[in-house]
Each structure stands twice: as C-alpha cells, then as structure tokens.
C-alpha cells in the first residue's frame, strides 16, 4: 500500500515539473489579470518565476500529495506561499489560496526540468 501511494505522489510531482504560463489570475475581489507570469518547476525542487517585465524570482518548492498542497518558498521575500492544487493535468495547472486562483498552461518542457 505504501509503495502504491509513493508512486502516485511521484506521478503528481512529475506533472508539476516543467514550464507553466499563468494565463489568468482571479483575485478574491473579482479582479482578473491575464498574462501574469511564467513559472518553471525543476526536478531538483527549485523554481524560477518571471513576469512580463523579465523580472525573475528564484525559490524552491514542495508538494504534499495527501493534502494537494503546493508550497513555494520565495528567496527574495524569505517566506513560504501555500496553494491548494485544484487541477493538475499534462497541459493544465490550477491552484488557489485565500486571495486568488491562478490558471496556467504548460508552455514547454526542458530536458533539465
């Protein structure tokens, strides 16, 4: 049973690894932003976030499959952000927290991700 759970959690983590373009962010106040940023999740558990101005932020990430919680540590702000994964497929990634819901699509896969 433990081996089955371990394989399932690895499969979900492997789906996260890659490059994602956040197409739409819906804030709790109803405001919608489009073309927000790009996130690249690497298999060494690091993450790179870039916005439309090419500003980048480095960090690390963790995923808890039991709770479907994705945590991203922002090295600049020195804090963790927590998100609930609502949907995760090969092409679509939707996460939410108490302030916003972000919808992303996979944009490419790099060999070193």
**Considering the domain boundaries, does residue 44 fall inside one?**
yes
- The pLDDT of residue 111: 52
Distance CA 92, CA 102 (A): 11
Q: Provide the residue range defining the domain that includes 46.
A: 2-108
**Considering the domain boundaries, does residue 94 fall inside one?**
yes
Give pLDDT tens digits for 63-105: 998 999 999 999 999 999 999 999 999 999 999 999 999 999 9
Distance CA 19, CA 89 (A): 13
- The pLDDT of residue 9: 52
Distance CA 33, CA 43 (A): 28
CATH number where 72 lies: 2.40.128.280
Give pLDDT tens digits for 52-64: 888 899 999 999 9
In the chain, the percentage of residues whose pLDDT exceeds 90 is: 69
In this predicted structure, the answer to whether residue 106 has a pLDDT above a threshold of 80 is: yes
Total domain count, the chain: 1
């Amino acid at each position: 049973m433990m081996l089955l759970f371990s394989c399932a959690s690895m499969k979900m983590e492997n789906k996260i690894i890659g490059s994602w373009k956040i197409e739409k962010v819906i804030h709790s106040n109803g405001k919608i932003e489009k073309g927000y940023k790009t996130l690249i999740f690497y298999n060494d558990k690091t993450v790179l976030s870039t916005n439309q101005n090419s500003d980048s932020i480095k960090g690390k990430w963790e995923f808890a499959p039991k709770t479907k919680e994705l945590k991203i540590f922002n090295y600049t702000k020195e804090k963790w952000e927590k998100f609930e994964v609502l949907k995760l497929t090969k092409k679509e990634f939707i996460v939410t927290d108490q302030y916003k819901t972000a919808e992303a699509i996979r944009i490419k896969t790099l060999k070193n991700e």
